[in-house]
Structure 1
């Protein structure tokens, strides 16, 4: 339009350098559009050039200084092909920072975060383009079009996702920071390669710099290639290295540095990265590194070299900050170091001593201390071998004496009898020696133990099924017109009031009749004493004593079972077993679900020990006290803390964590407030009166269903009634949720943070509401982890941001939870609760920031605040009640900050944080199935059971029906287990290690199957805990379970990934965690527990771990990813330390 001529080069035209510059000058070229690196190849000036446009690569200030001369307009433009041509433009001026300017007319540029939300001005984000120039998409590639051309919710505008990182500065101009996919991961850190290139071009005589990630075998390294302005001048490598080290962290300093005569280029003039040569020249002068001086430093250095696949490491380099180590590498390093250095080291020490020099010095101290300890004269297993040798001797004697060949048949039994008696004595002697030394004994359940436990299970099923038989009797009376519905409700309440105290009394009587008084000691697994203990413990589990938690009646129950309890104690736990070995002083407070078990199954024995708690002691929620432990007067143990075996907390001492270490423990009040017996009595009366009313309120929905069915039967349309009930199940579930919400509002609409008197009206309301929420966590379990849970929790009072994910949670009050957008709460996390001490209780709001992750079994003490983009790891707690800094990661009890962690990346944000409407719809269906499958299964089996018993009652009478209830219940139980097993194999098949984003079918289907397992199979199989039969259903569903294992937990998932060896012990509350959801990505893998291993109560074993034979993991302990526990070793703590 301006009359200028278009200069079209031919095949012989120069493509770069001064030859191209001369060609353009000779042809009178006045307008030139090119890439910045093309200009660096030209040394001569172009005086005829009036307009110069650069794009396609970052334009550096030195380009502007040289080419933006007076009389020449130089533009730096930006524009992806998908937006037709250029989108933004910037007039380059020497001395002014170079940007890509502002959008040209017809275009709008947006800077969004990962969820396509606008970021604040000055914040980096991804660059999106909208406007009339946006193309329709990629030809015949709808898959690519869907990923690149997007819409925002409630916004019809079409956006092109550029994949570039940018921000808008204070002048409204757009600063460009390179491609998002130009970021690489090195040693666990995300690195922007263009940042390295920019710093290199600031060095003397470097014209162009290109940095790449070089993958050489198993080792990744950064390699930088440079082109010099003046090839005749050598580059000062030491100056380059010093300049980079001054502005970059160590992991961003390139390993290789190559000087090229000329960069390989594409036809467009851009650098051809694929044609860069193989790097071989190191940038770092390793002679500058401080090398190992001692034998131990060399062993640690050798471990690090193997781990990081590096030829050289310095003793002053930081494992995390310099080399990019993270928690998984730390666990692997510990395992490797145990082999190389032969020293038992906990993972926690890697964080405490992150440099070779420091760690080697610490290890040398450990080795010296270990060498000073007295050693056993025989290695592990030698004592049991002695017994085997004795057996061999007697067998040889028997053979030499001719037993078995003797013609005197009468002599043989007598000799065999004497031999068996002697061998039995020898075996018992050597077993006792192994028990004393803590060494395992492999015990096979005797016929006596298996028979007694099998008969007991039948009795338990009978006890559990009798309520259904009573319902059948009442239903029959209603159908016959002998009883009204109101009469049924009254009778059921009377029956419940009579049945529960009866079972409670039975559990107390059984303890005294079968055990008498518990005493410290060790008893063989599956032996007579063990069977009696198991029977008493099982009856105790059915007694429902947990309703006493937090009331004055819990102290009474403790005393009735044999415990010594002082006055004015607040006891919030029913997790007690060895009552007579428990002693609690006056004014002591024990938190919710804290385990005072007094026993552990370990090394083939039931070990029993004392727990002695003094006066005015405080123990927080979800803590564990081991065997033979003592807390002196005024001692405190915080939430989720472990007081391990044979340990003592001194008078007035405060401890926290696992293992418990010195740390201040705050309580609601330091003084003590007393309450009269009258006030306590009135509290108990009102608590159970209102509790009964709440129970009646809760059973109204199922009674309405029963009434509807009875009416249908009476009116002759029972089949229609059943069909209506089946069709209305989703509505009934919704109605139940609203019904519970109404009951919660009646009891306590919104708990307010503060400190209140114990046994007050407010405490009564809180106590009822808190127990209701715990009931919700059990009865409405299938709703948890689904997209239907957040709306319900909001209705209950929780303040939840967008895209929150909540799995199963314990000890929470909805209105005391505030969670930001994109937050994630994993299974079993504990949110808040109450702290009780000195006659008062305290409740506070818990706040979790946006995009933060609360790990499995992690605890947020009441009032804890987690910042944005934070992670609280598995079985961890925040370090203090102060808010955690944004972007920080924490692990352990108590939590310590992780300098670096392994992150799972590479998935589109639409599959993690910003799902499409289509994905929402698909998940809504599968999550709905997770809820409906247990509901329909329970309904079908329940109606089948009632119909069967009703037929037996009408045909054969009450006593035949009552006798058959146990068999009917067992039959229905077997059917329910087989159904879940079939569902697992049909839907998921065999579980294998995977890495899957949150928003995908695999994750949802897995949760659906897991929901059926948790709600249907797990409750009915828990009655098998502690018996030889506990492993059978686990094997059916895919777990590899060895012979004669003691199993008292079914907190498993991804069953095929679990392997448990022969004679292993899995204690109460153990979690075998085969997957994690950090970064909203599900990662699963194998875990293995070897023969004769023991895992303590409430311990967590993560995937990618292995416990070698006869290894012992203590209670409330965490076996981290990558850890391998050596054979015959004992560890405890979170993370573990050597015992």
Structure 2
């Protein structure tokens, strides 16, 4: 404000001036209070233009308020508190607001008016240079426009590059013509109560099976411990036996998931189905059975495409899937040499109103889909096309071959040149690939069992000291007090186990490029799998001061007072975060 006041005071025609940061209608902005020289006329546009020559846009006052005299303190300085609450006159006394020429201009004007109260907004005026906007106002304007469902997608870059409401409106209208949006009718008739009742009854009948999938491996450990450990002592052989039982049950549940899904719903049929109806129930149960397969643990390996084929999806050769979740996995078609990033949402089954809508998602050969993209039903990505991270495709959208799309909803931002693609890494021999797949399969089953190692000391403590404590204290009222330190020991043991796996399996992970069939990648995947599997035990560390210490222990460089609430999933050596940063949950690094 001092720089703004100094430059403003030096302009001709002003007797006195001061600049105050005040909040009007929820908007923080700079307001200049002026006392004009005798005979001078206030020229707001001229003042703003003169200040633009020497000040950055965010330091140019958004409003110029003429006054007879400035309120003063006893010290002679301007009374800023009084100026912060002083009423403001309209920015333009004689000029009326320009009328919009299109509905889009009217909508943009409605979004901009609250940001520039008391001002007449010319549609050809520069958002920053003429209206006095800045980065915070641009972000507020962007949010206000996006709240209007009648407008096409707008990007922050549109505001900075086009700068006027008229130019932005023309760009939005062009997008609407190039890619018309279908307006969804969200009105619906509620499903019959009887249909809801019978569907709920059927879902209730399935709950024992679903609970078994969640608790079966744990119950197996407990029962095997009670039955197989007769003398009350645990040795290495007993631990291996219990872990083997856990792995066997986990594998059996995965087989039940694949077979059960194909029995319940061999392959979904695209269409619209009544909510809570028979087909809806079959689709719901099939989705639950898909979760039995532990597909999430197979991401980043050839196992994921193989299991997806067993579940009904059409997946080509040499497909790399880092992580996806599909509403109807059997209606997913993926061509050869496709790369899918992490946390991709395939929304090809959704409930709208009183209907379940199911459709295909087709991803052509050589396509690339970035991290955290969302693909709705009936979308097509043609050969060689690329979606940038966080891109969203609405129902029915098609990405033409070799086009690069970005945004939400997505739009074309460039083209793809296949000549610039890197060469394929040489593939190992068939026996080596078979051994790698065998290793991946074993680790998907073994890592959840390995994560149980810290629980065996708890088993031993409860089994050996329960009778003694009961004799001393009588009733088992002490159990919650014993469980608390036991849980702390379990968490500490899990932290030490993951840390040991990280430094033993992957002592160093420098930045660079590696083949998906290399030994380095397999070791990196193993560390990521360990962190993912043990995330359930360590979830209570998230958003605590201990998370930072644990990641430092794992090799990440994290500054002082930095808060972290996300899973780095094996990427530690290449992460460096400065001081006083915040990394929220679900952030992908």
TM range (shorter): 0.7 to 0.9
Q: 1:757 to 1:366 in 2, by over 3 A?
A: closer
Whole-angstrom distance in 1 between the partners of 2:496 and 2:463: 25
Match of 1:559 among 309, 317, 320: 309
**1:699 counterpart (421, 445, 452):** 452
Cα deviation, residue 531, structure 1: 0.6
1:323/1:712 CA distance change after superposition, 3 Å = same
Query: Which of 516, 531, 534 is the matching residue for 2:284?
Result: 534
- d(CA) in 2 for partners of 1:300 and 1:271? 37
Partner SS state of residue 547, structure 1? helix
Residue matched to 1:734: 492
Q: What are the Cα deviations for residues 476-501 of structure 1, in whole angstroms up to 9, with x where unaligned?
A: 34674288544432332232232122
* 1:257 to 2:46 alignment: no
Instruction: Tell me the distance in 2 between the aligned counterparts of 1:283 and 1:584.
Output: 58
| 1:650 Cα deviation from its structure 2 partner | 3.1
Q: CA deviation at 1:708?
A: 2.1
Residue 579 of structure 2: aligned partner:
821
> What CA distance in whole angstroms lies between the structure 2 residues aligned with 1:327 and 1:694?
45
Deviations 1:625-684 (A, max 9, x none): 332233333333343333433233333333344333344679982436334332221102
List per-residue Cα deviations over 1:138-171 (Å, max 9, x = no partner). xxxxxxxxxxxxxxxxxxxxxxxxxxxxxxxxxx
Per-residue displacement from partner, 1:196-227 (whole Å, max 9, x unpaired)?
43234424586654444678899987342448
**Displacement of 1:527 after TM fit?**
0.5
Q: Counterpart in 2 of 1:442?
A: 190
Per the alignment, residue 144 of structure 2 pairs with 332
Bigger Rg, structure 1 or 2: 1
Name whichever of 754-763 and 203-212 sits farther off. 203-212
Query: Which residue does 2:151 correspond to in 1?
Result: 344
Q: Contact 1:790/1:806 (CA < 8 Å) preserved in 2?
A: yes
* Aligned: 1:355 with 2:164: yes
Q: Judging changes above 3 Å, is the alpha-carbon distance between structure 1 residues 442 and 307 closer, same or farther for their aligned structure 2 residues?
A: farther
1:747 matched to 2:497? The reply is: no
Give the 3 Å change call, closer, same or farther, for CA 513–680 of structure 1 in structure 2. Answer: same
Deviates more, 1:814-823 or 1:569-578: 569-578
C-alpha contact (below 8 Å) 2:554/2:572 kept by paired residues = yes
2:328 is aligned to 578
Which residue number corresponds to residue 31 of structure 2?
222
Q: Distance in 2 between matches of 1:703 and 1:303?
A: 61
Please name the residue that 1:506 is paired with. 256
Looking at structure 1, the residues matched to 387 and 492 of structure 2 have their Cα atoms a distance apart, in angstroms, of 42
- Please give the residue correspondences for 1:175-574 in structure 2 after superposition, counting only pairs within 5 Å: 192=1, 194-204=2-12, 208-212=16-20, 222-226=31-35, 234-235=39-40, 237-238=42-43, 243-244=50-51, 246-248=53-55, 249=57, 251-252=60-61, 254-260=63-69, 266-270=73-77, 291-292=98-99, 294=101, 301=109, 304-305=112-113, 308-320=116-128, 322-324=131-133, 325-332=137-144, 344-348=151-155, 351=159, 353-361=162-170, 440-444=188-192, 445-477=195-227, 480-481=230-231, 484-573=234-323
Q: Give CA-to-partner distance per residue, 1:904-960, whole Å, 9 cap, x none.
A: xxxxxxxxxxxxxxxxxxxxxxxxxxxxxxxxxxxxxxxxxxxxxxxxxxxxxxxxx
The two structures have a TM-score, normalised by structure 1, of 0.45
Match of 1:652 in 2: 402
The answer (yes or no) to whether the contact 1:514–1:536 under 8 Å persists in 2 is yes
Task: Give CA deviations for 1:717-757 in whole Å, capped at 9, x if unaligned.
Answer: 78789555534544543343223211211111231211112
Q: How do 1:1029-1068 residues align onto structure 2 when only pairs under 5 Å count? A: none
Quickly say closer, same or farther: Cα 1:602–1:673, change in 2 above 3 A: farther
Alpha-carbon distance, 1:234 to partner: 4.1
Change (3 A) 1:708 1:756: same
Q: Offset of 1:449 from its aligned partner?
A: 0.8
Unaligned runs of 5+ in 2: none
2:522 aligned partner: 764
Q: Per-residue deviation at 1:586?
A: 2.6
> Do the aligned partners of 1:517 and 1:562 also contact (CA within 8 Å) in 2?
yes
- CA separation of 1:811 and 1:719: change in aligned 2, threshold 3 A: farther
CA contact (8 A) 1:292 1:314 kept: no
Instruction: Give the Å deviation of 1:804.
Output: 0.8
Q: Contact 1:255–1:282 at 8 Å: present in 2 too?
A: no
> What SS does the aligned partner of 2:244 have?
helix
Task: Give yes or no for contact 2:451–2:534 (8 Å, CA) kept in 1.
Answer: no
Q: Hey, what's the Cα distance between the residues in 1 that align with 2:287 and 2:544? A: 34
1:854-933 equivalences under 5 Å are none
Q: Is the 8 A contact 2:494 2:537 kept in 1?
A: no
Residues 752 and 718 (structure 1 numbering): CA distance in 2 closer, same or farther, change over 3 Å? farther
CA pair 670-201 structure 1, distance change in 2 beyond 3 A:
same
Q: 1:357 to 1:636 in 2, by over 3 A?
A: closer
Report if the CA contact (8 A) 2:19-2:31 is conserved. Answer: yes
Q: Which residue in the other structure is 1:678 paired with?
A: 431
> CA 1:589–1:361 in structure 2 vs 1: closer, same or farther (change >3 Å)?
closer
Alignment of 1:787-826 (within 5 A): 787-809=545-567, 811=569, 813-826=571-584
Shift of 1:519: 2.1
Instruction: Rate the CA distance shift 1:572–1:677 in 2: closer, same or farther, 3 A.
Output: farther
Q: Shift in Å at residue 301 of structure 1?
A: 4.8
Structure 2 SS opposite 1:681:
helix
Secondary structure (helix, strand or coil) at the match of 1:630 reads strand
Question: 5 Å matches for 1:1074-1085?
Answer: none
Distance 1:216 1:746, change over 3 A: closer
Per the alignment, residue 604 of structure 1 pairs with: 354
Q: Per the alignment, in what secondary structure is the counterpart of residue 588 of structure 2? A: strand
Relative to its length, the structure with more helix (as a share) is: 2
Deviations 1:439-486 (A, max 9, x none): 644324433211110111133224434444434433434674288544
CA-based RMSD of the aligned residues comes to 4.1
- Tell me: CA distance 1:302–1:653, structure 2 relative to 1, closer, same or farther (3 Å): closer
Alpha carbons 1:555, 1:571 under 8 Å: kept: yes
Q: Is the 8 A contact 2:458 2:490 kept in 1?
A: no
Alpha carbons of structure 1 residues 637 and 676: separation in structure 2 relative to 1, 3 Å:
farther
**Residue 368 of structure 2 corresponds to residue 621 of structure 1:** no
Quote the Cα distance in structure 2 between the aligned partners of 1:717 and 1:543.
Answer: 42
In the alignment, what sits opposite 1:708?
461
Question: 2:182 & 2:223 partners in 1: Cα distance?
Answer: 69
Deviations, residues 882-901 of structure 1 (Å, cap 9, x unaligned): xxxxxxxxxxxxxxxxxxxx
Task: String of CA shifts for 1:88-128, please: whole Å, max 9, x gaps.
Answer: xxxxxxxxxxxxxxxxxxxxxxxxxxxxxxxxxxxxxxxxx
Q: For residues 614 and 292 of structure 1, do their structure 2 counterparts lie closer, same or farther at Cα, with a shift above 3 Å needed?
A: closer
TM-score normalised by L of structure 2: 0.81
